[in-house]
């Protein structure tokens, strides 16, 4: 509920007024629930057909990528997980290939086979509990993206009991697909809030960049800062999004270190990635969260094409050179900005 409220508020923030001098194009909007979150789409100067194509595309992917059978017949990933292999749609195969590339590039900080462990902590059933060390030791060998193959639209899991979960990249893929549809329809301006992953397509009607809020991790209904963006996909992974307090009093978040099977607890509260690719932004937001501050910096220096804002519990905002130009801290927040170059 809280998450939905945040998404709605973020959307409200994105409803920024158009300038007086630019020609006004008609705004069309839509909203839907998919991938366990609330999504809004606002398109300017569209015919309406692209809005329904975007919606149909999101709904189809939501069903195909579901890890449960609650969404009806088209649940391709649920079936692959049950049978250890299966044919999937070309777009699911495309996502799997892109995600596997990111798993390799991040040396397994992103691992799309983490589901057995995610389930064990109760993040799917919402029946949360701390697994025993023995149980985790049994499940950890199943977390190994190198044992997934994707050939001719067929996904295969090489170890019995392995399960795929595209939760860390799916909203980014939706953002990529939606912007492809808008681009081919010659649409010039749109803003999509896909539950924390934002597609800032083109620019605002007044020619200004879109202003995208970064949630305050202590109160995710408000923003601690803003990014000015044009033609970018912005994805945030935050420990505040889904977590539970264990019987030991500790808070466990839904972002898991695939090497240990334990929710990450490294002082990071959120990671926001800005790039041209939704899969990259979404995948890296999860991966850099897992890596922690130092490894994330090293990764940034070795790879190009993205920027980040990382918020830590000691009230620091680590901001890469490209993001620093477009990032402003909201009034009343006292984050110390640490520039990464
Ligand atoms: P995000 O909100 O994009 O960071 O994605 C988090 C979701 O991805 C979680 O709810 C899990 O379903 C899954 N997940 C958690 N940890 C990982 C990980 N290290 N690699 C891949 N997927 C993960
Ligand atoms: Mg992600």
Tell whether ligand 1 has an atom less than 6 A from the beta carbon of residue 14.
Answer: no
Alpha helix stretches (DSSP H) within the chain: 2-14, 49-65, 76-83, 90-105, 115-120, 133-139, 170-184, 278-291, 293-302, 321-324
CA distance 195 to 237: 11
Q: State how beta strands 306-312 and 268-275 pair.
A: antiparallel
pLDDT at 7: 43
Centre a 10 Å sphere on the Cβ of residue 97 and count the other Cβ atoms it contains: 13
**Token pair in block for residue 39:** 């999504």
- Please tell me the distance from the alpha carbon of residue 79 to that of residue 64, in angstroms, as a whole number: 10
Tens of pLDDT, residue by residue, the chain (341 residues): 344 444 444 443 443 333 334 456 688 999 999 998 999 999 998 777 889 999 999 999 999 999 988 877 789 999 999 999 999 999 999 999 999 999 999 999 999 999 999 999 999 999 999 999 999 999 999 999 999 999 999 999 999 999 999 999 999 999 999 999 999 988 999 999 999 899 999 999 999 999 999 999 999 999 999 999 999 999 999 999 999 999 999 999 999 999 999 999 999 999 999 999 999 999 999 999 999 999 999 999 999 999 999 999 999 999 999 999 999 999 999 999 999 99
Contacts of 324 (CB under 8 A, 6+ apart): 337, 339
pLDDT given at position 73: 79
| DSSP one-letter string for 45-85 | S--SHHHHHHHHHHHHHHHHH-SSSTT-TT-HHHHHHHHSE
The pTM for the full model equals 0.92
Q: Are 184 and 196 in contact (CB under 8 A)?
A: no
Among all bound ligands, the one having the nearest atom to the CA of 241 is 1
Per DSSP, helices labelled H in 292-337 are: 293-302, 321-324
User: With a 6 A CB cut-off, is 277 part of the ligand 1 pocket?
Assistant: no
**Which 3 state secondary structure label does DSSP give 120?**
helix
Contact partners, residue 254, CB within 8 Å, separation at least 6: 118, 123, 239, 241, 242, 243, 263
SS3 of residue 203 by DSSP:
coil
Ligand 1, residues 110, 172, 286, 287: which to mutate, most atoms within 8 A of Cβ? 286
Ligand positioned closest to the Cα atom of 106: 1
Extract the tokens encoding 147: 């044992």
């Amino acid at each position: 509920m809280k998450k939905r409220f945040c998404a709605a508020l973020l959307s409200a923030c994105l409803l920024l007024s158009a300038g007086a001098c630019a020609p006004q194009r008609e705004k069309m909007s839509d909203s839907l629930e998919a991938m366990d979150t609330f999504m809004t789409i606002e398109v300017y100067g569209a015919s309406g057909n692209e809005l329904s194509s975007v919606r149909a595309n999101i709904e189809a992917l939501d069903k195909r990528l579901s890890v449960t059978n609650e969404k009806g017949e088209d649940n391709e990933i649920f079936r692959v997980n049950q049978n250890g292999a299966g044919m999937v749609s070309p777009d699911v195969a495309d996502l799997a290939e892109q995600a596997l590339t990111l798993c390799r590039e991040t040396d397994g900080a992103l691992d799309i086979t983490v589901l057995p462990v995610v389930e064990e902590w109760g993040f799917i059933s919402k029946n949360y509990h701390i697994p025993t060390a023995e149980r985790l030791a049994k499940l950890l060998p199943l977390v190994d993206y190198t044992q997934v193959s994707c050939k001719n639209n067929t996904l295969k899991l090489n170890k019995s009991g392995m399960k795929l979960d595209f939760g860390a990249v799916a909203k980014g893929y939706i953002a990529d697909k939606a912007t492809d549809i808008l681009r081919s329809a010659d649409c010039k301006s749109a803003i999509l809030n896909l539950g924390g992953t934002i597609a800032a397509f083109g620019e605002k009607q007044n020619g200004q960049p879109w202003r995208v809020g970064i949630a305050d991790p202590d109160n995710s209904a408000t923003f601690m800062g803003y990014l000015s963006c044009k033609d970018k996909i912005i994805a945030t992974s935050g420990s505040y999004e889904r977590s539970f307090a264990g019987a030991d009093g500790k808070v466990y978040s839904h972002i898991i270190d695939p090497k240990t099977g334990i929710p990450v607890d490294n002082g990071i509260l959120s990671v926001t990635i800005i790039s041209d690719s939704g899969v990259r932004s979404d995948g890296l937001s999860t991966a850099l969260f897992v890596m922690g501050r130092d490894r994330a910096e090293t990764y940034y220096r070795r790879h190009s094409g993205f920027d980040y804002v990382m918020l830590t519990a000691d009230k620091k905002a680590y901001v890469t050179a490209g993001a620093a130009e477009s990032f402003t801290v909201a009034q009343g927040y006292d984050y110390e900005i640490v520039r990464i170059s």
